[in-house]
Amino acid sequence: MKVFAFFTAFLPDQSMHSSSEGCIEDDKADVMLPCFHRNMYDEPLASYSNGSIISQLLRKTIHSKRALDESPFYLSSSAVADCSQEDQSSVSSKDSTVEAASPSGHAPTGASPEGEHAMSDHLQAKRARVENIIRVMVGSPNSRQHGDSERSENEARDTREAREAYRENKRKQRLPQHQEHSASAQVSRKPGSSSSDNCNTKDEECHKLKEQLHSMQRLLRHLQEKFLQVYHQEEAEYDRDETEVGVERDILEESTESHYISAEDDFERKNNRVAAEESQNLQETLKQELTRAVNDCVDRVFKNVSSKGLDLSLSSAFARHQRCKLAQVQRGRASKPALPSTTPSYSTPLHDSHILEHLLKYGPHSNFGGLPCLPPSMDRTSPDSVDLPWETIAMRSKVTSSHLGHHIECGELQGMADRNPYMSLNISFHSLTEGLTPSHLKKAKLMFFYTRYPSSNVLKTFFPDVKFNRCITSQLIKWFSNFREFYYIQMEKFARQAIVDGVTDIKDMSVSRDSELFRALNMHYNKANDFHVPDRFLEVAEITLHEFYNAISATKDSDPSWKKAIYKVICKLDSDVPEEFKTSSYL
DNA sequence: GAGCCGCCTG
DNA sequence: CAGGCGGCTC
């Protein structure tokens, strides 16, 4: 919906043809323009509520083209092409006229006077134009000789009109953009013509808008050219086939009606073939171009509005939301630098290209969440992280904690996804690893927030992708031993510091997320700060701190084994590790 | 003796 | 973080 709103907003008025028939004779590229402009953009946006806009655009375009071809225009064209000899051209012309008046396909064998009278002026004029256009299209030098003189004159006039209209459109297209928009209904002044600063400001705004329009026009034309480039290839092949088929029919002396039927069948087959072979390629092109165009459009619009000094906090958020909805991949491919929290600038070519890259590779409905090159949420303590599956946590951690650049990491992950197509859908493919990886270490550190004394069974449960043996188990146990060592060292250090600082009340020793102790611990176990530490860990940490404080205050530290009593308390405070950690890690 | 823990060291 | 070591429990 919004996509089309933008497109309609930037549609140049001067490219709106008043007649779709006036530009049909020479260049089918211009045939497409009214299809895009008049039929598509004037249609209520509500009609595009179902399915993707791209699909609607594609289907609409093909339908427009097909309707054009299935109209008498096309039938007459093929008939004339088939019957290029003089004694047949008049017959084909008559038949084409009948077909034009009989859209149901049940064509009478001849044109009755009643039928002629029943035809409206509109249809008669249309018939004349049809036949005229056909001659122009097939380039038959003899066709003009076989009509009556009056009709020939009308046809000649129609041809001239059509060509003039076409040339006029061509001229308009060649006009510089500032001239085009000066001629449009938009207010436009030449630079310097204003007599006040206010006018200068308006000029600048107009100029920016013109530039936006210009850009959108180029994008639109580029889109059309790409479509037609693909379509014309198939059209040329089909025309050659039709000529060959026509020769065969002449030899077999088949009726023109059978020609029509066969031609229609061929056309159906051709259409099916086009739809099957081209639609995918075309859709990809259209998706790419449209996505790029819309992103670019949104960028320009909001940049322009930003330049007016308005408060865009809500608008920018909306724009970002729309962009997310548009590509369906924003969260999956956005890089942190591309999403500044205060002043959103949407000129992120890398970001967009990554979106498109993933879109083209895996389709619009692929699991972008499985490629969490996404940064941690802007609020790094966002509680939603705790609900994320381990794959996501691990990937996010890997990406953000790596010493390598973020984009390099994305490239790595993309490469991995390239090698394993299933990765983008489900990263947790099961392959037992012989050894522990940095990812496992990271996971173990996060598990430490829940359990300080995990049993071997717990470790085996929560590292299902690890092929356990004595060495691996010992290494994992050693890890947690090291984690505890650091943990207790910090507790003892902060407890002693509190005593040195003269803290006498244990109530003055709380552990919050802002406290220095927590920061030290979080830095060690959650260096990337992309994991939401459970509150329970803060409670346990506070209890531990109090235990050390009390023991030291009571001078129990004189006993070489004074810590054992504390360990005995702390080991009972373990929590269950969330189920999300049970799924295998991605490496 | 296996398994695990904590301390020490690098 | 890992290796070595001693201690403890079973």
DSSP character string of A79-136: HHHH--SHHHHHHHHHHHHHHHH-TTS---SS--HHHHHHS-HHHHHHHHHHHHHHHH
Query: Nearest nucleotide to A483 by CA–C1' distance?
Result: C1
Residue type, A48: Y
Q: What count of residues does chain A have? A: 587
Nucleotides of B under 7 A from a protein CB: 3-8
Instruction: Using pLDDT thresholds of 50, 70 and 90, give the confidence band for residue A344.
Output: confident
Q: Write down the pLDDT at residue A528.
A: 93
Whether A569 shows a pLDDT value over 90: the answer reads: yes
Q: Which CATH class is domain A437-582?
A: mainly alpha
Rounded to whole angstroms, what are the CA distances from A382 to A3, A301, A345, A386, A389? 31, 31, 23, 8, 15
Backbone angles phi, psi at A367, to 5 degrees: -85, 90
Query: Which nucleotide is nearest to A525 if distance is taken from CA to C1'?
Result: C1
- Is the Cβ atom of A135 within 7 Å of strand B at any atom? no
Our measurement of CA A393 to C1' C3, in angstroms, reads 31
- Can you give the three-state secondary structure of A460-509, one letter per residue? HHHCCCECCCHHHHHHHHHHHHHHHHHHHHHHHHHHHHHHHCCCCCHHHC
Report for A48-62, A138-152, A226-240, A363-377: range of highest mean pLDDT: A226-240
pLDDT value for A447: 96
A477 touches strand B (CB under 7 A): yes
Question: How large is the greatest C-alpha to C-alpha distance in chain A, in angstroms?
Answer: 123
| CA-to-CA separations, A163 to A81, A124, A158, A169, in angstroms, rounded | 22, 20, 8, 10
- Asked if residue A438 has pLDDT above 80, the reply is yes
* CA dihedral (A429, A432, A436, A440) positive or negative: positive
Residue A46's pLDDT band (cuts 50, 70, 90): very low
Whether A175 CB is under 7 Å from strand C: no
For residue A397, which of A435, A464, A442, A433 has the smallest C-alpha distance?
A: A442
pLDDT of residue A27: 33
A513: Cβ under 7 Å from strand C?
A: no
**pLDDT tens-digit readout, A463-489:** 999 999 999 999 999 999 999 999 999
Of A235 and A518, more confident: A518
Kindly report, residue by residue over A387-424, the tens digit of the pLDDT.
344 544 444 443 333 333 333 433 333 344 334 433 33
Q: What is the pLDDT of residue A229?
A: 65
CA dihedral A259, A261, A267, A269 (to 10 degrees): -120
* Residue A494 beta carbon within 7 A of nucleic strand C: no
The CB density around residue A450, as the number of other CB atoms within 10 Å, is 20
Asked whether residue A559, judged by its CB, lies under 7 Å from any atom of the DNA or RNA strand B, the reply is no
Task: Decide if A249 contacts A43 (C-beta within 8 A).
Answer: no
pLDDT in the model for residue A576: 95
| Strand C nucleotides within a 7 Å radius of protein CB atoms | 1-3
Asked if A246 contacts A270 with a C-beta cutoff of 8 angstroms, the reply is no
| AA identity, residue A42 | D
Cα separation of A256 and A85, whole Å? 14
pLDDT score recorded for residue A570 = 97
Contacts of A172 (CB under 8 A, 6+ apart): A14, A15, A180
Range with the poorest average pLDDT among A129-133, A339-343, A538-542: A339-343
Task: Report the nearest residue to nucleotide C7, CA vs C1'.
Answer: A561
DSSP annotation of A48 reads G
pLDDT (tens digit per residue) in A273-312: 544 556 555 556 555 655 565 555 445 544 544 443 333 2
The C1' atom of C4 and the CA atom of A561 lie apart, in whole Å, by 20
pLDDT band of A526, cuts 50, 70, 90: very high
A441: CB within 7 A of chain C nucleic strand:
yes
Spacing of A473 CA from B7 C1' in Å? 20
CA A565 / C1′ B2 distance in Å: 25
Return the beta strands (E) in A330-424 as ranges.
Answer: none
Contact A477, A444 (CB under 8 A): no
Q: What is the DSSP string of A188-225?
A: ---TT--SSHHHHHHHHHHHHHHHHHHHHHHHHHHHHH
Most confident of A130-134, A410-414, A428-432: A428-432
Between A545 and A169, the more confident residue is A545
Model pLDDT, residue A128: 54
Please state whether strand B lies within 7 Å of residue A201 at its CB atom. no
pLDDT digits (tens, 9 = 90+) for A94-123: 333 333 333 333 333 333 333 444 445 555
Nucleotide with smallest C1' distance to residue A564 CA? B6
Q: Is the pLDDT of residue A332 over 50?
A: no
- Closest C1' nucleotide to A482's CA: C1
Residue recorded with tokens 């790029």: A292
The residue whose two tokens read 């427009």 is A64
